[in-house]
Amino acid sequence: MNSIHKRNILIIAEGYEEKPYIDKILSFPNINKDVYHIFPAVNAKGSGNIFARYQYEFQRNFYDLILIFCDADKGSEEFLTLVDKIGAFFIDKKSAIEVFVFANPVTLQIVLSHFGEVNINNISKKNNAPLVEALTGIKNYDAKDEQIKELISKINFQSLSDFKIRLKNISTDFKDIPSTNFLTFLERFEQEDSSWIDAILSLMNNK
């Protein structure tokens, strides 16, 4: 059998909810670990730190591809500015969206889809807390460390097929609320064909 060259992937996660979530999902057995070596996600500790970390990791030239997992935050100016900044690494700035794994408005749209049908349209943790409690039993959710750990612990591989069905019903256009392209990337990491990485790299400068 011919050996497959593993593709080294780094994901820069926006914060304390995104990192443990993405690390758990990408540890599941459906991920093709013969093809992809996905390093533990980097916690940027806030969207304002993502660009500097991306620039640092890009210049190290160690990874085949660096992805960003973050909130689209209702298409806020901060999110659009970040996409524009990452566009400096692309031949066409608009292509930068190709390295974003996003959730609009917030990551809870993805996470809670493991437990039921959700259509989040508010970025407020306080406003979303009743939905978190209804689906998971976690009361007064405001993303405290222990609450995040409990939430992530409730996600299991057995529920993944239902999760995928729910995500298929959500828009993949980051301008829509709610929307996410998480399923696109999840399915890519399940496959042996990694040509999607080369397609993204062909859009970038200095590659």
Q: What global pTM score does this model have? A: 0.95
Query: What is the dihedral sign for C-alpha 69, 73, 74, 76?
Result: negative
Q: Is 180 helix (H, G, I), strand (E, B) or coil?
A: strand
Q: What pLDDT, in 10s, does the model give residues 59-86?
A: 999 999 999 999 999 888 999 999 999 9
Side-chain half-sphere of 153: how many Cα atoms within 13 Å?
8
Q: Where are the domains of the chain?
A: 7-201
pLDDT digits (tens, 9 = 90+) for 42-62: 999 999 999 999 999 999 999
What beta strand segments (E) does 6-133 contain? 7-13, 36-38, 42-43, 65-71, 100-104
pLDDT for the residue numbered 2 = 45
Residue-wise pLDDT for 88-126, tens only, equals 999 999 999 999 999 999 999 999 999 999 999 999 999
Q: According to the model, what pLDDT value does residue 206 have?
A: 65
Helix H or strand E segment including 195: helix 195-201
pLDDT attached to residue 1: 37
Question: 32 is written with which tokens?
Answer: 């093709």
